[in-house]
Structure 1
Amino acid sequence: MEPVIFLQNAYIYQRDQLVLSAVNFTIHKGEFVYLIGRTGSGKSSVLQTLYADLWLEKGSGVVAGYELHALKRSQIPYLRRNIGIVFQDFQLLGDRNIEKNLIFYLKAMGWKDKEEMNVRINEVLTLVNLPHILAKMPHQLSGGEQQRVGIARALLNQPQILLADEPTGNLDAEMSVEILKLFMDINEKSKTAVLMATHDFELIERYPRRTLYCDKGLVQDLSESL
C-alpha cells in the first residue's frame, strides 16, 4: 500500500534553527496516528513541514504523492488540495457566515460549480453533526462548534489525510473528548488518515492509537518500542 506520508532521514528547521533530526516515519491510508510531545518539542514544525509551510531542508519526504524535498512553490497549492489542515484556533473568517466561510475555501481549492459546492458543504456539516448552522456567524458558535466547522472545512476537498495541530487545545476536557471521537469516527468511516498533534496525554491514555513522540530533537515511534 502506498503511504500517504513518508519521511526518511528528514531534518526539520524553523528558520536557521534545527528542531528535529533524522526523522523517519510512514503513515498509510486509513491510519490514525498521534504526534505527541511537550510544548516546543517540534510537533507543529513537523506538521508545517508536511504541508510545506516549512521547507524540508535535508532528507526526503513524500506527502499525498508530492515530494517535499523537490517541491516547487507553484506546487504547494496542489499539495494542500490533497490534505486537510485543522488548527487549534479554528481560523474561521469572522466577517462572514459559515456558508460563506466554506464557499470561500472551496473556491480557493479550485471548485467552481455552485450546486456541487452546496452539496459538498451540506455533506461535511452533516458529517460533523452541524447541519443547520449555514447562516450563523462564527462568534455565534461555541468553541466546540467552531472546531467542528474547522474539521468540516478540512474535509471539503476529500483529502487523503487530516493534519490536526492541537485541535483540542482551546477546548475543555469534555469537548476535547467529543472532538477526538469525531476524528476517530471520520477516520473509521471515510478511511481518511489522521495525524493529530497533541500534548493531552490523558486523551491518549483513554483512546490509545499508534503514537509518534517528539522529544530532545528526535521523533520516536512508541509502538516500535513496546
Structure 2
Amino acid sequence: MNNEVISLKNAYIYQKESLILSDVNFTIHKGEFVFLIGKTGSGKSSLLKTLYADLWLEKGDGKVAGFDLTTIKHKQIPFLRRKIGIVFQDFQLLSDRNVMANLVFFMEAMGWSKNNEIVSRITEVLDLVGLPEVLHKMPHQLSGGEQQRIAIARALLNNPDIILADEPTGNLDPEKSIEILKLFFKINEVSNTAILMATHELDLIERFPKRTIFCDNGRVDDLT
C-alpha cells in the first residue's frame, strides 16, 4: 500500500516567470516529520505554496494527498486543501471574532455542517494543543504563542494527511519556539499526521534533529 503523502519528481518551482527551484525530488510518507530549511528567500515558501496549489507546478511530477499537482483543476484545489493543514508565521486568525467563532468559520468552509460534530472536534483539537479554556477569548487577548497554538488547532480540525508549516516559530521568542516545536512533535506522534515544517532557525534543528530537506542556490537536497 502506497502511504506517500507528498511526492515530487524532477519538479521545477516557479514564481511567475522566475525559476526558484530546479529538479526537486523528495517523498514524504504518512506519519513522517521533516524539516525544510534554508535562508530567507531560498525558496521554502514557494515550495510549500506549490504543494498546496497556490503556485502551479509548471514542470515535473507532483502528488500531494492523492492529488496530481500537474493536472489538478481549479475547482479541485479546495478539496486538496481539505486534506492539508496549513500553518503560517502570522497566525491569520480573524480578529473580529473569538476563538470558537474562528474555528467554526473554518470548519463550515471545509464542509462540516453538523453542529455537534463541529463542537466535538473543536474541543478535541483545543485539548490536543493545550488550550481547552480559550474558546470565548478574542485573538488579541492571547499571547503570540497561544495564537499560534490556535492556528495549529485550526490546521488539525479536518484530520489532514499532512501539515505544512511555514516558519511557524518566526514571530515567537526562543522559549515559545521550542514549545511550539514540541507541540508539533506531539501532534505527529499522537495523530500520525505527517508534518513538513519550514524554518531558518538552525538551532532548533540542532537541538531536535529530524529528517531535513535543504533549500539553497535553487536546489533542494535531502540531508538525511
TM range (shorter): over 0.9
Tell me, in whole angstroms, the C-alpha distance in 2 between the residues paired with 1:180 and 1:168. 8
- Residue pairs, 1:126-205, within 5 angstroms: 126-205=127-206
How many residues align? The count is: 223
Superposition CA RMSD, Å: 0.4
Q: Partner of 1:59 in structure 2?
A: 60
Tell me, in whole angstroms, the C-alpha distance in 2 between the residues paired with 1:45 and 1:181. 25
Tell me, in whole angstroms, the C-alpha distance in 2 between the residues paired with 1:180 and 1:93. 23
Q: Partner of 2:223 in structure 1?
A: 222
Tell me, in whole angstroms, the C-alpha distance in 2 between the residues paired with 1:4 and 1:131. 30
- Residue pairs, 1:1-226, within 5 angstroms: 1-223=2-224
Tell me, in whole angstroms, the C-alpha distance in 1 between the residues paired with 2:212 and 2:9. 17
Instruction: Give the drift of 1:51.
Output: 0.3
Tell me, in whole angstroms, the C-alpha distance in 2 between the residues paired with 1:14 and 1:146. 30
Tell me, in whole angstroms, the C-alpha distance in 2 between the residues paired with 1:31 and 1:2. 10
| CA deviation map 1:179-215 (0-9, x unaligned) | 0000001001111000000000000000000000000
Matched AA of 2:134: I
Tell me, in whole angstroms, the C-alpha distance in 2 between the residues paired with 1:76 and 1:89. 23
Tell me, in whole angstroms, the C-alpha distance in 2 between the residues paired with 1:43 and 1:50. 11
Instruction: Give the drift of 1:149.
Output: 0.1
Structure 2: which 5+ residue stretches go unaligned?
none
Structure 1: which 5+ residue stretches go unaligned?
none
Tell me, in whole angstroms, the C-alpha distance in 2 between the residues paired with 1:122 and 1:132. 10
Tell me, in whole angstroms, the C-alpha distance in 2 between the residues paired with 1:169 and 1:137. 22
Instruction: Give the drift of 1:37.
Output: 0.1
Tell me, in whole angstroms, the C-alpha distance in 2 between the residues paired with 1:126 and 1:15. 41
Identity of aligned residues (%): 69
Instruction: Give the drift of 1:2.
Output: 2.3
Tell me, in whole angstroms, the C-alpha distance in 2 between the residues paired with 1:51 and 1:68. 9
Tell me, in whole angstroms, the C-alpha distance in 2 between the residues paired with 1:16 and 1:137. 41
TM-score (ref. length: structure 2): 0.99
Matched AA of 1:103: V
| CA deviation map 1:74-119 (0-9, x unaligned) | 0000000000000000000000000000000000000000110000
TM-score (ref. length: structure 1): 0.98
Tell me, in whole angstroms, the C-alpha distance in 2 between the residues paired with 1:220 and 1:74. 32
Instruction: Give the drift of 1:15.
Output: 1.0
Question: Where has structure 1 moved over 3 Å in runs of 4 or more?
Answer: none
